[in-house]
Amino acid sequence: MANMIDQDQQWLINSLNATLDTNQQARSFAEASLNQASLQPVLLKQFIKKHWQEDEDGFEHPVVSNEEKAIIRGLLLLSLDDPHKKICTAISMAVSSVAHHDWPDEWPDLLSFLMKLITDQSNKNAVNGALRCLALLSADLDDKLVPRIIPVLFPCLHAIVSSPQIYDKLLRTKALSIVYSCTSMLGVMSGVYKTETSALMLPLIQSWMVEFSSILANPVQSEDPDDWSIRMEALKCLNQFVQNFPNLAESQFMEVLVPLWQTFVSSLGVYERSSIEGLEDAYDGRYDSDGSETSLESFIIQLFEFLLTIVGSKKFVKAFGNNVQDLVYYSIAFMQMTEQQVHTWSLDANQYVSDEDENTYSCRVSGSLLLEEILISCGIDGVRALLTAAKQRLNESQQERGKGSAVWWRMREATLFALSSVSEQLLEVEVSGPSQVNLGNLLEQTLTEDMAAGVHEFPFLYARMFSSVAKFSSVINNDVIDHFVYAAIQAIGMDVPAPVKVGACRALSQLLPDTNRGIPQPHILALFSSLTGLLKQASDETMHLVLETLQAAVKAGHEAARSIEPIISPIILNMWASHVSDPFISIDALDVLEAIKNAPGCVHPLVSRVLPYVGPILNKPQQQADGLVAGSLDLLTMLLRNAPIDVVKAVYEVCFDPVVRIVLQSDDHGEMQNATQCLAALVSGGKQQLLTWSGDSGFTMRCLLDVASRLLDPDLDSSGSLFVGNYILQLILHLSSQMVQHIRDLVAALVRRMQSCQIAGLRSSLLLIFARLVHMSSPHVEQFINLLITIPAEGHPNSLHYVMSEWTKQQGEIQGAYQIKVTTTALALLLSTRHVEFGTINVQGHLIKSSAGITTRSKSKVSPDQWTLIPLPAKILATLADVLLEIQEQVLEDDDQDSDWEEVEAGDTEIENDLLYSAGTTSYSRPSHGYLDALAKAFNEDEDDGYDDDLLSAADPLNEINLANFLTNFFREFSQGDQPLFDHLCQSLTQAQKKAVQMVLSL
């Protein structure tokens, strides 16, 4: 045997071989041994994984023979009725593992055997084993097997689910889980096989809806996880029915609605006693023998998920009619803090911040998602329902407070949390028009009433008040805001519970940047002192919050920042250095330092503090702690952003030579990336002056070119070259006269780097350089095209063929307003040349769909995608037309869109008509000039595209291009300059593309 195997596996192999022995006694003993081995799940599962199929990952010789496989399959099936649930589950898993390889081709009788077991009412253990096995198998079915087994399987499952007098809740739940898996697969299939899947479900759906209604009809019981589990599985199935087959489910839905409401309302009382008050067992963190969670909260979350589906469907939300307010009213109650949350968050402020910021899986989060969907689906009616329900809950909590209740604050906090979770939607409506309940007045009244509450007794209410003021500052009276700003500043410096400090930090981090009111300097200085004190105690998420608040305080402090810079800068620098390997904290620290740098009179003292520290680090990078070199480079790049020229020169004198050496010599990708960014910032800030600072401009330029050469080395790992595009862009923008003589070598190096590139983002950034070179060559773009033709490219006739093939393939993936502007307009300039070589180039066109259906594991090894080939000019024209369509989509509203597969009836023509006509044009032939202006404005508003580095576009005049106007002029001039060619190329456009082009031509 080539590979070593352990004793257990060797024993198993020997036993399998013995089952083929001619000696009857030896065979019987081996079969008995194997039957016993089947009770050892880990051993058997490992054996199947390693020795069953030769072409599988992790396979080890020897392979199990066909005779041995048949014996194992038979023994496994005979063991499925084991009375021990864990053993039964293990055997089911083994059956599933074998079935993955052998079923249905090598194991055709598996399904019939399992069907026989689940219909045997006399053997509940067999029913249990078969259901467990089918549950595992159903999760791995494909679009060929599901239609074959559902007509046979679902009636058997229905017989189990509809017989509570025969089968317990656990077996009925398992049967429902199989229904869920199969229906989920049908939903995926319905995108392609709509008619077939609907026909398959039509005779089944009514009987199942009756069963779901029956399961949900009775009130939810306390401390009954089996009841919660079967309801949860019924809700999951209902969710699939409604999502995937809304037309079929609609007629039966009203029968489900009343039982669903009964479940929703009755579960609140159970949830309040079990989770919110902690008086009964909520079974948190408990799982059944199959690993499924049995907690009350998991059931409630599933209930919310189904309600979310209903509310999100225009077809089903109408079923609630005038009861939306009741839905909101009960949902707010579910959003109260649980006893466990109060306990955990009181002890661990870090966990409180983490759960709040990351929207941890909970009823609170599920409730907020439902409220958001209600506002989206119901519009102003949803807003009225929310505000009315919120007012009712706030009044009730105030009444409870008057009665002396100790937990009156929970509903108060939950209501404020509910409102805050949808603050953006509420503020949009508040701006556009008043509702019956005035949001600002409601909040001011609530906040005023609760100011007198004891901060130590009700810390979470205070925390929520602070954050709510920040969320709704635009509709709250300035006096109230001022009060909470000063209260938050005081709270941070006082001995109050940690949640109060968290809420205060949240309020200040959001209110201070937007405040125009002058905060007296003593208050700001006290805040700085308190925040720096908090930093010493903070950890993880709380540190992030404190740093965020400190950044806001620096920005709001104005002149006060200069006086505290000598105190605060060393603290933040030390924190940055000690957490430099933690990307989250180090970035937060850098943000604070950048705020200090930008404060009046702070940049020079900060730079003089940083340079003596980072200089030695960069000069001896190999001696530094992990991440310190890359972090120091990041710190320098931050200092260089928008810095005065004397600061740029000071950084250059200390750091230019070591940063260049790092790029040329380091093998650390992080160091190379940050050094590249740092040099790009130096070039951007120093421009032509940078070449004179060393006294030898030729030497400096050679250093910069050497850096480009290393980063464009085709043998260098793509990660190390990641930011070379930004660096070269700065050379082109600011040292263009020096770069002109190197264009040919640069293009050749760019092509070689692209051909070995493994990262899509790097490839896009290199294409941006080609696009910028096209603009540099204007109005003689033909010369640049001719240059590309003379430069070889491996595997292609020349570099023009290669670059245009990659460019047209990648253009749709390029992101960022600036990047899209430069590359799109460059393509237009290229096409305008009508260069003869373009007619010889064919590029990737449309995807050829070789077969219908969905991609499953059984189809994953098929041949790769194949594409049509189309002429380059036609592809460029289509790409430019697509940009017009994309701009339109940013303007047009999404009217009456339904995500249900089976409701996507309209053909392309109808969709295309909507795209062009719903923007307010008076006719197809003559849209208004205002429409185009709206398109341009919408596109330019996308300028904040998530790119942190403004160096990319700040100095480039191309960033001022109005893309919509540019494309309008291009299409007009191109069509007028060569009408026959234009008409010929337009023949390959889709109808939507043709209409987009025709619209701008008619202006």
Tell me the pLDDT tens digit for each residue of 416-471. 999 999 999 999 886 666 667 899 999 999 999 998 888 999 999 999 999 999 99
Predicted local confidence at residue 365, as pLDDT: 94
pLDDT at residue number 397? 96
The better pLDDT of the pair 408, 885 is held by 408
Query: Helices 246-271 and 194-217 sit at what angle, rounded to 10 degrees?
Result: 30
The mean pLDDT value for 964-984 works out to 93
Query: Considering its fold, how many domains does the chain have in total?
Result: 1
Q: Any residues with CB less than 8 A from the CB of 600 and at least 6 apart, and which?
A: 558, 559, 561, 562
**Is residue 921's pLDDT more than 60?**
no
Buried b (16+ CB within 10 A) or exposed e, 610-620: bbeebbebbee
Mean pLDDT of 340-349: 93
What pLDDT, in 10s, does the model give residues 708-721?
A: 999 999 999 999 99
pLDDT on residue 132: 86
632 token code pair? 């120091």
Question: What pLDDT sits at residue 917?
Answer: 27
pLDDT of 742 over the 60 cut: yes
Query: How high does pLDDT run on average in the chain?
Result: 85
Q: What is the pLDDT of residue 19?
A: 64
Chain segment 600-624, per-residue pLDDT in tens:
999 999 999 999 999 999 999 888 8
Task: Indicate whether 932 belongs to any domain.
Answer: yes
**Residue 661 above 50 pLDDT?**
yes
DSSP, collapsed to helix, strand or coil, labels residue 897 as: coil
Tell me the three state secondary structure of residue 287.
strand
Judge whether 752 lies within some domain: no
pTM score of the predicted model: 0.79
Pairing mode, if any, of strands 866-871 and 842-848? antiparallel
Among the listed residues 796, 879, 874, the one whose alpha carbon sits nearest the alpha carbon of residue 838:
874
Q: Which residues of 909-921 are buried (b: 16+ CB within 10 A; e: fewer)?
A: eeebeebbbebeb
What is the SS3 assignment for 793?
Answer: strand
For residue 998, is it within any domain?
yes
In a domain, residue 168? The reply is no
| Distance set, CA 796 to CA 28, 490, 864 (Å) | 68, 70, 21
Q: What is the pLDDT of residue 554?
A: 92
User: Which pLDDT band holds residue 894 (cuts at 50, 70, 90)?
Assistant: very low
Q: How confident is the model at residue 852 (pLDDT cuts 50, 70, 90)?
A: very low
**Residue 912 pLDDT:** 31
In a domain, 227, yes or no: no
DSSP three-state, residue 343? helix
Instruction: Convert the pLDDT of each residue in 58-94 to its tens digit.
Output: 556 666 677 777 777 777 788 787 787 777 777 888 8
Measured between alpha carbons, how far is 334 from 267 in angstroms, rounded to an integer? Answer: 10
**pLDDT beyond 90 at 11:** no
Pairwise pLDDT comparison (235 vs 950), residue with the higher score: 235
Judged by average pLDDT, the poorest of 153-167, 352-366, 791-805, 979-993 is 352-366
Take residue 177 and report the two structure tokens written for it: 């889980």
In the predicted structure, residue 363 carries a pLDDT above the cut 70 = yes
Nearest Cα to Cα of residue 502 among 454, 537, 474, 526: 537
| pLDDT beyond 90 at 777 | yes
How far CA 759 is from CA of 753, 767, 824, in Å, comes to: 11, 13, 21
pLDDT higher than 90, residue 723:
yes
Give yes or no for residue 41 having a pLDDT over 80: no
SS3 content of the chain, % helix, strand, coil (to 5): 75, 0, 25
Q: So what's the pLDDT on residue 898?
A: 39
How many of the other CB atoms lie within 10 Å of CB of 113? Answer: 16
Distance CA 544, CA 586 (A): 10
Does the structure show a pLDDT above 90 at 159? yes
- The better pLDDT of the pair 18, 606 is held by 606
With 80 as the cut, is the pLDDT of residue 948 above it? no
Q: What is the pLDDT of residue 40?
A: 53
Say whether pLDDT at 107 is over 90. no
Greater model confidence, 871 or 920: 871
Structural domain harbouring 869: 793-847+865-891+927-1002
Q: Residue 62: what are its φ and ψ, rounded to 5°?
A: -90, 160
Instruction: Pick left, alpha or beta for residue 863 (phi over 0 → left; psi -120 to 50 → alpha; otherwise beta).
Output: beta
Residue 801 belongs to a domain: yes
Q: Using pLDDT thresholds of 50, 70 and 90, give the confidence band for residue 911.
A: very low
Calculate the CA dihedral of residues 522, 527, 532, 535 and round it to 10 degrees.
170
The residue ranking higher by pLDDT, 257 or 47, is: 257
Q: Is the pLDDT of residue 783 over 50?
A: yes
Residue 582 domain-assigned (yes or no): no
Residue 952: pLDDT over 90: no
pLDDT bracket for residue 292 (50, 70, 90): confident
Across the range 256-267, mean pLDDT stands at 96
Q: Please, what is the angle between helix 963-977 and helix 872-889, to 10°?
A: 140
Q: Where are the beta strands (DSSP E) in 647-697?
A: none
Instruction: Kindly state the average pLDDT of the residues 353-375.
Output: 90
- pLDDT tens, residue by residue, 461-507: 999 999 999 999 999 998 999 899 999 999 999 999 999 999 999 99
Q: Does residue 884 fall inside a structural domain?
A: yes
Determine which of 37-51, 248-262, 534-548, 639-653 has the lowest per-residue pLDDT on average: 37-51
**Banded pLDDT at 57 (limits 50, 70, 90):** low
Cβ atoms of 162 and 126 closer than 8 Å: no
Compute the average pLDDT of residues 769-797. Answer: 97
